[in-house]
Copies of this chain bind each other. A is one copy, B any other.
């Protein structure tokens, strides 16, 4: 697998909801910031190598082989993210770009040893689950903050939008993974929320709330 093939496979995996549904050419082009014609070329190659099923004009669908390949790349990506954040003190908005390179390093031993060195983490710095050596994927108890009601409590376990701008926003307002959150009330007008983060009062927009995953604490 070339680096480019790997990047395509990963993009298709994400766009297809983990290989569930098929993905149109243009969606891949947008995601990868390339021309649709380039995507068609690459799709043909991936199809020849049987990573995807492909019918002209009908989009692509990841094969079993393609899904497994995607999972090992994602595993590497997220393990490296943990390494950068936990061991090298990278900020969570800085890890992605470097992991985008590190995910292509070829050495099974390296990644297994790294996994062990990091103490077999289950989630990356954004709360995304890390696939296991055999592709098994822990499920996140994914409740969006926006779906919670007054008086409910939980722990912040992930972000839906992991763009640099959103992560920086969270840093600025001192919102981090692992934080304890309690809903005070919800404005009827714009669905913005008044919450307690680690016992500190904060007002956040609906937009923010729809991008934070919370693991609820039963009352």
Contacts and interface: CB of A to CB of B under 8 A. Distances in A.
A114 interface: yes
Interface string A74-116: 0000000000100111100010011001100111011001100
Contact of A117 (B87, B106, B107, B113): B87
Contact of A88 (B88, B98, B102, B117): B117
- Chain copies in the assembly? 2
A174 to B, nearest CB: 23
Contacts of A98: 105, 107, 110
In terms of DSSP, what is the predominant structure of the interface of chain A?
Answer: helix
A94 B117 contact: no
Nearest to A112: B88
A114 B87 CA distance: 9
A105 B107 contact: no
Nearest to A105: B101
Contact of A94 (B88, B105, B109): B109
Contacts of A101: 105-107
A84 B107 CA distance: 12
Contact of A110 (B88, B105, B109, B117): B88
A114 B80 CA distance: 13
Nearest to A98: B107
Interface string A141-173: 000000000000000000000000000000000
A114 B88 contact: yes
Query: Which 9 pairs of residues, A with B, have the shortest CB-CB distance?
Result: A88-B113, A98-B107, A101-B105, A98-B110, A88-B117, A87-B117, A102-B105, A88-B114, A89-B113
13 contacts: A87-B117, A88-B110, A88-B113, A88-B117, A89-B113, A90-B113, A94-B109, A98-B107, A98-B110, A101-B105, A101-B106, A101-B107, A102-B105
Given A97-B107, A101-B107, 13 more contacts: A84-B110, A87-B117, A88-B110, A88-B113, A88-B114, A88-B117, A89-B113, A90-B109, A90-B113, A98-B107, A101-B105, A101-B106, A102-B105
